[in-house]
Amino acid sequence: MNDQFTPKLISTGRARNGDKQNSAFFETYLQRVLEERDRCGLTEMIGRIEAMMITVEPGNSIAYIGELALMTPYHYLVTLDSPRHLTHILRIDMNSPDILLREVKDPNHYDIFRSLNDPHPAGSQRPHSRYLGEILRVTDREQVLEMQREREFRFFSPDTLDGLDLPTNVSISRPSPYTQNVVGYIQRDLDTVRVYHPLGNCNIVAHAQDTYEKAKELQMKLQIDDLIKPIDHLATRVHSQNREVAMLEYLALSSYHYWGSYDIPDQNSSTNVCKSVRPLPEAVSPAKVFTANNLPYCVNHLDKLPSPNETFVRNYGPRLHHIALSVKDGERGGKENIDFVVDAIASQGQGFLLEVVGSRDEGLKQIFSAASPISALIIEYVQRFGDFQGFFTKDNVARLTAAAGVEDSLARI
Ligand SMILES: [Fe+2]
């Protein structure tokens, strides 16, 4: 699973999936962005996703540790205590990305990330809570930063990162105008552990440890601890007009390639997938999915089509919509594993937006949880059968998208 010093990574000329028609602009600039990225060496220098960053409201992070410890394979490791935030490090192992779970200490805290939530009616209800973005591994942080700055990408200064209580050994971009997510770069040798500094005093918070242990005990008692695998993909929703530029921007900042796009006409939307150019499983470097309406809201009164993506981004702002976790292929207790996992978690009061969709014959089954009351993020479970390599079926995605569109928190806006 080495993602360093792989010789001659070529980002272009890869098999294309899907049926969504892209613009001539996108096709031309996709080729140019990837060719330039390969030629200047950035594809070689930028590697896997090392971490994801999430911020939640004051007092909410420990409950979220409990939620994630039950619903995912993540373990609570340690808490970094800095002036304005607590940052809990959640980890599976050194092969899969960490989660940096940040809790704002002061409800009146104001920073750039809050300013992304405030204009949006649903986002502003949890003003500090949002997924910030991913941290990518690089072989030479200073050089990558210099090259990306020359390419007109903008980054926070070390002083600003310090003021935001973000790790200063990570270079972090300013939020994207298209996704409002950031991209960070961290330099790490594969045989060393990940460290984030300086984020203040490092300690194990007794209440966090206790909540984590209870959730893991429950996960084991429910016999689902060995069935839920690492993250498969991260799905970001963007405005209709930003579908193509959101992908071009991420491809310029990462070493991912364009895997393909599926049109979901029933939901007036498309699902667009980018994956690592390295032969790494998603468990090591999750796929990046961008979803967008086919038509913007401002013409929707003409055809009155479903508009779930555009409604979401108008309510919350562009942002991460769901984190998808793989479920181990197989059966337990007379059910396919995904059904066993969902029934077990539902028995503890966790809601799901619909029943499990898909089938063994179609290659995979999927489901969306209800949005977390803490982070607003949805957890997706996906079980692929046998050697099915596809990402989804169009029917599944249409049903999942429709279910998310009627989710309670949207209906209330
Ligand atoms: Fe998904």
For 110-154, what is each residue's pLDDT tens digit?
A: 999 999 999 999 999 999 999 999 999 999 999 999 999 999 999
Residue 174 CB contacts under 8 Å (≥ 6 apart), including other chains: 112, 154, 155, 156, 182
pLDDT band at 205 (very low <50, low <70, confident <90, very high): very high
342 CA distance to ligand 1 middle (Å): 16
364-367 long-range contacts, Cβ below 8 Å, gap at least 24? 364/388, 364/390, 364/392, 364/393, 364/396, 365/336, 365/338, 365/339, 365/396, 366/324, 366/338, 366/392, 366/396, 366/400, 367/338, 367/342, 367/400
Contact 286, 233 (CB under 8 A): yes
84 CA distance to ligand 1 middle (Å): 33
Instruction: Give the integer Cα–Cα distance in Å for 61 and 73.
Output: 17
pLDDT digits (tens, 9 = 90+) for 282-291: 999 999 999 9
Report the percent of the chain where pLDDT is more than 70.
Answer: 96
275 CA distance to ligand 1 middle (Å): 14
Phi–psi pair at 373, nearest 5 degrees: -65, -15
- What's the pLDDT score for residue 100? 97
- What's the pLDDT score for residue 6? 53
150 CA distance to ligand 1 middle (Å): 34
Q: What are the helix and strand counts (H, E) for the chain?
A: 13, 19
Contact 296, 310 (CB under 8 A): yes
If you search the block for the tokens 């009155």, which residue do you land on?
304
240 CA distance to ligand 1 middle (Å): 18
Which of 79-93, 168-182, 231-245, 391-405 shows the lowest mean pLDDT across its residues? Answer: 391-405
67 pLDDT exceeds 90?
yes
Instruction: Give the integer Cα–Cα distance in Å for 307 and 219.
Output: 36
166 CA distance to ligand 1 middle (Å): 28
380 CA distance to ligand 1 middle (Å): 6
pLDDT band at 393 (very low <50, low <70, confident <90, very high): confident
Q: What share of the chain is helix, strand, coil (3-state, %, to 5)?
A: 30, 30, 40
Report the percent of the chain where pLDDT is more than 90.
Answer: 88
357 CA distance to ligand 1 middle (Å): 12
238 CA distance to ligand 1 middle (Å): 14
CB-neighbour burial class of residue 266 (10 A; exposed 0-12, middle 13-18, buried 19+): middle
pLDDT band at 7 (very low <50, low <70, confident <90, very high): low
233 CA distance to ligand 1 middle (Å): 7
355 CA distance to ligand 1 middle (Å): 15
237 CA distance to ligand 1 middle (Å): 11
If you search the block for the tokens 């038509």, which residue do you land on?
295
The tokens for 35 are 């060719």
Which of 110-114, 118-122, 360-364, 377-381 shows the lowest mean pLDDT across its residues? Answer: 360-364
31 CA distance to ligand 1 middle (Å): 26
The tokens for 411 are 């209906």
Mean pLDDT of 166-183: 97
- What's the pLDDT score for residue 237? 98
408 pLDDT exceeds 60?
no
Which of 270-274, 356-360, 390-394 shows the lowest mean pLDDT across its residues? Answer: 390-394
H helices of 304-388, in order, are 308-316, 337-346
110 CA distance to ligand 1 middle (Å): 31
Mean pLDDT of 156-181: 96
388 pLDDT exceeds 90?
no
343 pLDDT exceeds 60?
yes
236 CA distance to ligand 1 middle (Å): 9
- What's the pLDDT score for residue 151? 97
Instruction: Give the integer Cα–Cα distance in Å for 49 and 95.
Output: 10
341 CA distance to ligand 1 middle (Å): 17
360 CA distance to ligand 1 middle (Å): 18
pTM beyond 0.75: the answer is yes
261 CA distance to ligand 1 middle (Å): 13
The tokens for 115 are 């300013």
198 pLDDT exceeds 60?
yes
322 CA distance to ligand 1 middle (Å): 7
164 CA distance to ligand 1 middle (Å): 30
403 pLDDT exceeds 90?
no
- What's the pLDDT score for residue 4? 55
Average pLDDT of the chain? 94
Mean pLDDT of 305-334: 96
207 CA distance to ligand 1 middle (Å): 32
103 pLDDT exceeds 70?
yes
pLDDT band at 410 (very low <50, low <70, confident <90, very high): low
201 CA distance to ligand 1 middle (Å): 36
Contact 119, 317 (CB under 8 A): yes
92 pLDDT exceeds 60?
yes
294 CA distance to ligand 1 middle (Å): 17
Rg of the chain (C-alpha set): 20
338 CA distance to ligand 1 middle (Å): 15
382 CA distance to ligand 1 middle (Å): 8
324 CA distance to ligand 1 middle (Å): 6
- Ion ligand 1: protein residues whose beta carbon lies under 5 Å: 235, 324, 380
pLDDT band at 413 (very low <50, low <70, confident <90, very high): low
Mean pLDDT of 208-212: 98
If you search the block for the tokens 């921007």, which residue do you land on?
249
Query: 334: how many CB neighbours lie within 10 A of its CB?
Result: 7
64 CA distance to ligand 1 middle (Å): 21
153 CA distance to ligand 1 middle (Å): 28
- What's the pLDDT score for residue 401? 85
